[in-house]
Amino acid sequence: MNKFITLSGIAAPLPMINVDTDMIIPKQFLKTIKRLGLGKNLFHDLRYDLQGNIKNDFVLNWDPYKSAKILVAGANFGCGSSREHAPWSLLDFGFRSIIAPSFADIFYNNCFKNGILPIKLDQNNVDQLIKEAENKKNLTINLEEQLIIQENGNSILFEIDPFRKKCLIEGLDDIGLTFKKVEKIDDFEKNVHQKYPWLI
């Protein structure tokens, strides 16, 4: 998993509430277990018409938002089913952080496991950042300082669990965390084999 320390760029505004995981990545694209290639189908029904043509009325089809790495969204983002394909598709599109007033719990947890930083802010701050995004202003997210820095120099402090913060900064997913303890695991297995050789 890639490390997350700082992130800068244009944020894409998506002031919609209750964006569910089927809207993020529709069910017909869940046949794969690969994390790559899902970005092209992110928000499929909002980005494409029934013939597969790009719609001109959706923000992620406009420059410069096509290459945005930060998404500013409405409340209860990621609700619905627990599909991990939702954060996979967001990450594959290029998003590394999502800012919203609230998230569905399972989606929120899945973001951290896939290297995406979900940030919860109060509605007033989210509304302010949506306006900044609509005006194509840059944002910088400093995870170490837990700050969102606006182009005018103003900053917003955000909260994050210390363990999750550490994992993002060090680029550790569940597998990475396990590998950090591989020596202890090997020692444990060696001791078990010596004490109970019939279990081999």
Phi then psi for residue 130, to 5 deg, are: -65, -40
Supply the pLDDT for residue 181.
65
Distance of CA 192 to the CA centre of its chain: 40
As beta bridge partners, residue 79 has 20
- Residue 54 inside a domain? The answer is yes
Burial of 4 (0-12, 13-18, 19+ CB in 10 A): buried
- Residue 119 inside a domain? The answer is yes
For residue 103, give the nearest of 113, 117, 93 by alpha carbon.
117
Supply the pLDDT for residue 182.
67
120 contact partners, CB below 8 Å, separation of at least 6: 100, 101, 102, 103, 158, 159
CATH number at residue 28: 3.20.19.10
Rg of the chain over Cα atoms, rounded to whole angstroms, equals: 20
Domains held by the chain: number: 1
- Residue 118 inside a domain? The answer is yes
Q: Per-residue confidence of the chain (200 residues) as pLDDT tens digits?
A: 899 999 999 999 999 999 999 999 999 999 888 888 999 999 999 999 999 999 999 999 999 999 999 999 999 999 998 889 999 999 999 999 999 999 999 999 999 999 999 999 999 999 999 999 999 999 999 999 999 999 999 999 999 999 999 999 999 877 666 666 667 766 677 777 778 777 66
- Residue 188 inside a domain? The answer is no
Residue 164 structural domain:
6-173
